[in-house]
Chain A
Amino acid sequence: MMLRVVMADDEQLARRVLREYLSADDNVEIVAECSNGFEAVKAVNEQRPDVVFLDVQMPKLDGFEVLELIDGAVAVVFVTAFDQYAMRAFEAAAVDYLLKPFGAERFRACLDRVRARLREGARPADLARDLKRASRPPGEYVERVVVKDGPRVHVIPAAKLDYAEAQDDYVALHSEGRTWLKQQTISSLEAALDPRRFLRLHRSYLVNVERISRIDANTKDTRLAVLTDGTKIPVSRGGYARFREVVGEE
């Protein structure tokens, strides 16, 4: 089976090893070599490769962030010197996890695995799309949210995210007066962010605690949160309980 490959690693020598091993296989075509996360997202979305080899720590975006911004199905292999990401990579439905340095034998096994996964057709990467977005070590939360802005990538630091609103399969991220749409469920976004800083005030709303200026009674059973910029957000009964828990009893 012919494989179209994109590889991303910021180290030239690391890309050289990959290229050397890949060129030993006649049925492989390298369609792009990238040296940072932005390039990787662009290359994968434009070239639609079968498989992408991703370093985890790269400039601009790390490997997991790249994964979040990739459209459609592609088999993912992480290549890194850090073994502590293995669990996360597995949860992100990566096909394989290569630890640097690795040998030709190990690499052939990896390619076999990629081919087997692609032959299965139903790509688990798709099914696990939502899961992978929530994947991260327990107790650690993302400090930034990455979102695709046409061909570009926009990075929203968690501190600058005002609130998120569920819209079908998307979340609308409100930050600094602008709105960004991202294909993600609000629950997986909630799971990725620090629960002490972001509160699910309502089934459809996840709000930055620091932006809440007050909570008003609306009707008998409902409340409204007023944010520092004046935005009003409905608060469910459960949401109000969570708010009291985080802010403390008054």
Chain B
Amino acid sequence: MHPILQNWRRFLLWLAAWIPLGAILVLVAHLSARLSLADSAAVMVPAAVVLAFFCLAPFYVCRSLPLRSASAARLVTQHLAAAFILSGAVMLVARLMASFVSSATAARFPAAAPALAVIVLMIYLMAVALHYAAFEMESSRRAEVLAREAQLRALKSQVNPHFLFNSLNSISALTAIDAGEAREMCIRLADFLRTSLRLGERVTIPFAEEMALTTMYLEVERVRFGGRLRLTQRMDPACSDCDVPALLIQPLVENAVKHGIAMMAEGGEIAISGECDDQWLRFSISNPFDPEAPPSGRNGLGLRNVRERLEARYGGAARMEIRVEERMYRVALTLPARAAR
């Protein structure tokens, strides 16, 4: 149903907006057909009411003909066809009303008909344009809301409580074994938390900062997993200045640890690489995994989050590819290299 018809207040406002438009129609009929104002109103007010309802129709037509995807020829022909048919119907109503009022009115009315038909047609086409404008505003607002929600969710998953508790447990163990190392670990954890909170407030950050955060995270996890967590990094220095959505990559690294390394008795190697040219930033992370490991919970939520954020930020321009080989899991991102505005 049309949003204007869903709510009484909106509907009354819509009718109010028609008072001046109706007045114009009455005035034009009065002047060009030389009808008395009362007769002119009797003819044109019912026609204006019909037109007010017809001008809600573009909602359905515009929805089936989105500006971005429909061809220009189709847009023009379909809207014009609808415009002509509906204005014809409005004119017919006016003509019928004229013959109800009196035969003299009916005889004079045709003098005003061409001018009235043009105005009715214009009003209808204006309604089409307004509907498209409203649709555009709605969709850009929705994209913004989505982007913000995705960021909030990313921030939430950022300070993963289990990561925190397990790290605190490691610290608790270290205090008895190596007080200095325990203090180091506290500092690393604090650095990571502080940085992730700071970066989480921003929309995009330089790739180098995202990687620095990722390194902090892995340093904390390395205390927990010891030799089981191994890391190779291959970074093209040209990537450093590319802008990326904040905290986009960190959840991917967390996944690699949680579903890969943590579920393997002997551990494994996480390989991270980044390269970039004028157009694209290519990032990939791979980790071994045990296909026979017990389920490690909530798989895929983090990945979906990353995918949604890419979609919200870059539309179709960014890509995320997931490749699962026998015992190797790989996620590759391709982003526009300097797309941040």
Q: Which residues of A contact B (CB under 8 A)?
A: 10-14, 16-17, 20, 35-37, 57-62, 65, 81-82, 99-101, 143-144, 155
Q: Select from chain B the residue with minimum beta-carbon distance to A140.
A: B295
The A-contacting residues of B in range 112-151, CB under 8 angstroms, are none
Q: Are B293 and A60 in contact (CB under 8 A)?
A: yes
Output the least CB separation between B218 and chain A (Å).
16
Q: How far is the CA of A16 from the CA of B165 in the complex (A)?
A: 16
Give a binary string over B276-301; 1 marks a CB under 8 Å from any A CB, 0 the rest: 00000000000000101111110000
B residues contacting A by CB (< 8 A) are: 161-162, 165-166, 168-174, 176-177, 223-226, 262-265, 290, 292-297
Q: Is the pair A81, B265 in contact by a Cβ cutoff of 8 Å?
A: no
Question: Do the beta carbons of A60 and B226 come within 8 Å of each other?
Answer: no
Q: With A10-B262, A10-B265, A100-B166 known to touch, is A59 a contact of B177 (CB < 8 Å)?
A: no
Q: Which residue of A lies closest to B225 (CB)?
A: A11
**A16 vs B264: C-alpha distance when bound (angstroms):** 20
> A13 touching B173 by the CB < 8 A rule?
yes
Inter-subunit contact A37/B169 (CB<8 Å): no
Min Cβ gap A105→B in Å is 13
27 A-B residue pairings within 8 Å (CB atoms): A11-B224, A11-B225, A12-B226, A13-B170, A13-B223, A14-B166, A14-B169, A14-B173, A16-B176, A16-B177, A17-B169, A17-B173, A35-B265, A37-B294, A57-B263, A58-B294, A59-B263, A60-B293, A62-B295, A65-B294, A81-B161, A82-B162, A100-B168, A101-B168, A101-B169, A143-B295, A144-B295
Q: A62 and B294: CB pair below 8 A?
A: yes
Q: A216 → chain B, closest Cβ, in Å?
A: 37
A61 touches B294 (CB 8 A): yes
Q: Which residue of B is nearest A57, CB measured?
A: B296
Which of A57, A60, A101, A155 contacts B172, CB < 8 Å? A101
Cβ contact of A60, chosen from B177, B265, B295, cutoff 8 A: B265
Contact status A36-B265, CB under 8 Å? yes
Q: Which of B169, B265, B290, B296 is in CB contact (< 8 Å) with A13?
A: B169
Contacts of A14 in B (CB 8 A): 166, 169-170, 173
Q: A59 contacts B264, CB within 8 Å?
A: yes
Shortest A35–chain B CB gap in Å is 6
Are the CB atoms of A59 and B265 closer together than 8 Å? Answer: yes
- A36-B265, A57-B262, A99-B165 are known contacts. Are A16 and B173 too (CB-CB below 8 A)? yes
| Closest chain B residue to A59, Cβ basis | B265
A residues less than 8 Å from B168 (CB atoms)? 100-101
**A70 to B: closest C-beta gap in Å:** 16
B263:A11 contact, CB within 8 angstroms: no
Contacts of B264 in A (CB 8 A): 59
Shortest CB-to-CB span from A180 to chain B, Å, is: 16
Q: Which of A61, A100, A144 contacts B169 (CB 8 A)?
A: A100
Measured in the bound complex, the distance between the Cα atoms of B173 and A62 in whole Å is 22
In the assembled complex, the Cα of A16 lies from the Cα of B177 at a distance in Å of: 9
State the CA gap A37–B262 with chains docked (Å).
13
* Known pairs A62-B294, A99-B165, A101-B168 / 19 extra A-B pairs, C-beta < 8 Å: A11-B166, A13-B169, A13-B174, A13-B223, A13-B226, A14-B166, A14-B169, A17-B172, A17-B176, A36-B265, A59-B265, A59-B290, A60-B265, A62-B295, A100-B166, A100-B169, A101-B165, A144-B294, A144-B295
Q: Which residue of B lies closest to A103 (CB)?
A: B172
Closest chain A residue, CB of each to CB of B263: A59
How far apart sit A99 and B173, CA to CA, in the bound complex (Å)? 14
Specify the chain B residue showing the minimal Cβ separation from A20: B176
- When C-beta atoms are compared, the residue in chain B nearest to A39 turns out to be B265
A100 touches B165 (CB 8 A): yes
* B166 cross-chain contacts in A, Cβ below 8 A: 11, 14, 81, 100
CB distance from B180 to the nearest CB of A (A): 15
Considering the complex, give the chain A residue whose CB is closest to the CB of B162.
A81
Q: How far is the CA of A200 from the CA of B293 in the complex (A)?
A: 28
Name the A residues within 8 Å of B293 (CB-CB): 59-60
* Distance to closest chain A CB from B10 (angstroms): 41
Contact among B161, B170, B295 for A11, CB-based, below 8 A: B170
Question: Among A58, A59, A62, which residue has the most Cβ atoms of chain B within 10 A?
Answer: A59
Report chain B residues within 8 Å CB of A143: 295
Shortest distance from the beta carbon of B121 to any chain A beta carbon, whole Å: 53
- The 9 A-B residue pairs whose C-beta atoms are closest, nearest first, are A81-B165, A13-B173, A100-B169, A62-B294, A101-B169, A101-B172, A59-B265, A17-B173, A36-B265
**Which B residues are CB-close (under 8 A) to A13?**
169-170, 173-174, 223-224, 226
**What is the distance, in angstroms, from A68's C-beta to the closest C-beta of chain B?**
11
CB neighbours (8 Å) of B177 from chain A are 16
CA distance A213 to B171 in the complex (A): 57
Please give the distance in Å from A109's CB to the nearest CB on chain B: 17
Closest A residue by C-beta to B294: A62
B269: shortest Cβ distance to chain A, in Å? 16
Alpha-carbon separation in the docked complex, A81 to B169 (Å): 9
Q: How far is the CA of A41 from the CA of B196 in the complex (A)?
A: 40
